[in-house]
Structure 1
Amino acid sequence: MSLVSNPALNLRTDNPREPWRESEARPVEWRRTPALVRAVALAGFCLLIAVAFGRVDLVLLGVPFALGTALLLRGRPVQTPKASLELAEDICAEGATAEAALTVTNPEDTPITTLVTAAADPWIDLHTGKGDFAERIPPATARRMAIAGDAKRWGGHTLGPVHIRSLACGGLIETTQEILEPKRIWVLPVPDWFESAETLPFADGVAGVHRSRRHGDSGELAEVRLYQPGDRLRRIDWRTSARSQDLYVNATLSERDTDVTLILDLQVEAGESGGIGGTASAADLTVRAAGAVAAHYAIQGDRVGCIEFGARARRMKPGTGRRHNLSLLRWLAAVEIPADALPPSVEMLRRQLPGNRGLHVVFTPLLGERAVALVASLARAGRPVLCVDTLPGHVAPPSRTYWTPAAERLWRLARENTVMELREMGVAVEAWTGAATLDNVLAELSRRRYR
């Protein structure tokens, strides 16, 4: 029996359902308004009563309504206005202006009045085109209207939807409501200012700014040794050579780049975000701190990559330069913390990490056992680990009972104990406070490297 003639393949299900289909948008068309209905009804009623009862005064009362309606409808439009919503730029920074342009084109020879109702994401504070406003559009012209607002927080936000309705012929006819779909705009995080003068351990790249153990052309002296064929003459130490009667040269350490891997703990959120000018949540501190560290090292020539330790487990390939820094900020703007997500795997993340010859910076609020286990496993593997604490200082559990303050003190003591245990394992743990936050811990890592 062939598969085509098999009767089992033609059986119907017990509960057959038609496949779900998206509802098509209704076309925009002209329709009468209640004003037109009232004008026609009043004129017809006056004429009918005048004929029935011989009242000439009612004819004089109804004729102006009939003539006015006829004159207004003489230039009745046929084509509906065309509207479009376009973003000025699909990327902006926190605190900057997110702007979209609404263009309404009137193809007829009759002027129209367009009523616009604009909305936006809660994190975009509209200041231009907010709420309801009207614009008169002359015949055969197009009017460009701005819808703009201040972007208060990083992430993917929307400008729109925009509801449009046009009236013509003195308000006697109107178009059906047209809804323009919202446009997504990516708001990039504004990183905190971060600058570090400390070199990184395991600088084994080609060329960079970090001190390496390998000899090469640099300004840091490694040793003074006897001259060998091939040494440059400008490296000769003439004072030592004059005292010893032999040629000695100054050997220097080379400066190289390194790999910096940023690991973002996105398991839980702590605190409420107030945007660019308000209080910061744990996710805000994590994203902005990671953006600051990434910008510092990517611009100076190091290879910077990012990995999410969360449900999505996204990964950004290492790169360097200003263009890669912009890509990193765009990657950070897409960070999300799902409400009910599967816990991440420490072993799977460790397999995604590059070799042991780079710096691993973990941004975590230290609120979960898996984050602590991740930091501890990296330290046991011999990797240089820097743990940045991103728990905001104002975060506290809600007061529910009389024992809430005591429970909070116990929780903070347990958290301090966890930090001390990580430091005993050789992990540098430092709370994020902005510029020069990591100088001391980076210097300690470098000293451990060159002992």
Structure 2
Amino acid sequence: MKFHATAALVRSQVCALLLGVLALLFGRLDLLVLAVPFLVHACWGLLSRPRRGVEVTARPRHVVVPEGDVVRVTVASAPGHLAAVQWGQVESADWDPATGTLLDAPDDGTVAFGFEPERWGRYEIAPALFQVTDPSGSWSCSGATEGITVTVRPAAATLDGGSGVAHPIGMVGSHRSRHRGDGSDLAEVREFRVGDRLRRINWRVTSRRGPVHVNSMLTERDTDVLIVVDTLYDITPADRHATTSLDATVRAVAAIAQHYVGFGDRVAVHDLGTRIGPIRSGSGPRQARMVRDVLARARRTGRDWTRVQQVPSIASGTLVFLCSPLLEREVQDELVRLRRLGAEVIGVDTLPEGVGEFADIRTFDKGSHLGEAWLLRRMQRDDALTRLRALGIPVTRWRGTSSLANVLLSMEAARSAPRRGVAR
């Protein structure tokens, strides 16, 4: 950016010239004295004229941060110059200072701001307007910086409770199975049989009892975890700063994925709508990062999607979490269909608190009857949840990382519970 003369420099030059001419014409020494400050400022401005322009840059251009972090945004200009920078207000985010405007003359030329997103998502910050002025106030340049993109990953705290895996599928994970095989957990010590590996021989028991004894181990298995998300609609409560159904769904998916990736399981995501999209099955820390990155790019805005994209196929024994407000009949039917396909299904209710309750009626206009309609919708939904629980499908409301603890612990304990045999 090139510097241009300010109005202050022009006024100083005009006033110095005019007062000097009048002092000579009328022989007025006082007018000459009045012209001295203007002349000094005009000379200072001419002597301190910047020889080249200044490049104003904003950093970082692109940044990815976890939810709850504050991003430090810096605008670099000419050192020792007065810089005025103004950022526009961003929805669901705050600036420090609160107005997004700062006037400062730092020695290093760097003006710093704090950008604090309120929730996960992708924030496109419009270019900032700036004006840089030299110390004499005689030269200035103005323009706009480049825009900034801030991607906020949803919080991925690990769930409280066990794994909830009643029937592991694979042979390489950390869920202990009831079956004998290669593993690290001791099942029993028994006598040697043909086919047993020599490295399993327990020499202490053998030397004490005589016959050769071996250690029998429990296999360690992994499972497939499928997280089904309902993004057909984003249910927003009356308070626009409150958590929406999409907020709860995204945070639930991040926590569930982080939890089961830690067990060594394979985690996949299937979207019944179009806001998030599918995520292929994978395991390890890389899969956890991929899930958080995809969730951070989920679209908050856009048209609602009325057609449910069913899960195409599923292996028997897959652990399925369906995160949904559970308002649509098609989504409720999908829960039942997955259960009939042999999956272990858990419903995660992400409907915002208070939506459809009696207290929520007063937030609507009296003549609209929307409050009564939501109340009837809530009653129909609660009746459907009662029928789902009667079918053996647990449905629990999402209230943070401890929401699923009781369900997971109960399911995990069910695999070691005694079975009642049938008399023959």
Distance, in Å, in 2 between the alignment partners of 1:313 and 1:190 is: 16
Provide the residue aligned with 1:167 in structure 2. 133
Larger CA deviation: 376-385 vs 293-302: 376-385
Alignment length (residue pairs): 407
Q: AA paired with 2:201?
A: L
Structure 2 counterpart of 1:435: 402
Change in CA separation of 1:125 and 1:409 when aligned onto 2, cut-off 3 Å: closer
Quote the offset at 1:216 in angstroms: 1.2
* 1:340 matches 2:313: no
Q: By how many angstroms is 1:113 displaced?
A: 2.1
For residues 38-117 of structure 1, what are the structure 2 equivalents within 5 Å? 38-47=11-20, 49=22, 57-62=30-35, 64-87=37-60, 90-106=63-79, 112-117=81-86
Q: Please state how far the C-alpha of 1:257 moved relative to its aligned partner.
A: 0.6
Report the residue type matching 2:219 in the other structure. Answer: S
Q: Which residue number corresponds to residue 202 of structure 2?
A: 234
Is the counterpart of residue 136 in structure 1 residue 99 in structure 2? Answer: no
Residue 45 to residue 271, structure 1, CA distance change in 2 (3 Å): same
C-alpha distance in structure 2 between counterparts of 1:313 and 1:97, whole Å:
25
Distance apart, 1:260 and its partner CA: 0.6
Out of 252, 260, 273, the position equivalent to 1:297 is 260
Mapped to 2, the partners of 1:174 and 1:61 lie a distance apart of 26
What's the RMSD between the two structures over aligned residues?
3.8
Shift of 1:149: 3.4
What is the CA-CA distance between 1:293 and the residue it aligns to? 1.2
Whole-angstrom CA distance in 2 between matches of 1:420 and 1:393: 18
How far does the alpha carbon of each residue in 1:201-228 deviate from its partner, in whole angstroms, 9 at most, with x for none?
A: 4412122222446431454759989944
**223 and 331 in structure 1: CA distance in 2 versus 1, 3 angstrom threshold:** farther
- The more displaced of 205-214 and 285-294 is 205-214
Structure 2 residue identity aligned to 1:95: G
Q: Which runs of 5+ in 1 are unaligned?
A: 1-27
Q: Deviations over 1:347-399 (max 9, x none)?
A: 4xx23x55344212110011223322322332333333221111122223543
Aligned to 1:121: 90
Give the SS at the match of 1:82.
coil
1:300 positional shift: 1.7
Where does residue 360 of structure 1 map in the other structure? 320
8 Å CA contact 2:73, 2:114 repeated in 1? yes
* TM-score (norm. length: structure 1): 0.76
C-alpha contact 2:231 2:246 (8 A) present in aligned 1: yes
Superposed displacement of residue 298, structure 1: 0.3
Paired letter, 1:366: L
- Structure 1 counterpart of 2:154, one-letter code: P
Residue type matched to 2:64 in 1?
A: I
SS of the counterpart of 1:216?
strand
Shift of 1:259: 1.0
Aligned residue type for 2:16: A
Q: Is the 8 A contact 1:202 1:357 kept in 2?
A: yes
User: What does residue 168 of structure 2 align with?
Assistant: 203
- 2:279 matched to 1:316? yes
Distance 1:136 1:236, change over 3 A: closer
More displaced, 336-345 or 245-254? 245-254
Gaps in structure 2 of 5+ consecutive residues:
420-424
What does residue range 232-271 of structure 1 map to in structure 2 within 5 Å? 232-234=200-202, 253-271=218-236
Distance 1:273 1:153 in 2: 17
Range 259-268 or range 190-199, more displaced = 190-199
Hey, what does 2:422 align to over in structure 1? none
Contact 2:191–2:213, Cα closer than 8 Å, also in 1: yes
Cα contact 1:114–1:166 (8 A) shared by 2? yes
Instruction: Using the TM superposition, give the Cα deviation of residue 57 of structure 1 relative to its aligned residue in structure 2, in angstroms.
Output: 5.0
Three-state SS of the structure 1 residue aligned to 2:226 is: strand
Partner of 1:419: 385
Deviations 1:389-434 (CA, angstroms, capped at 9, x unpaired) = 1112222354333866665543332112211233344433222233
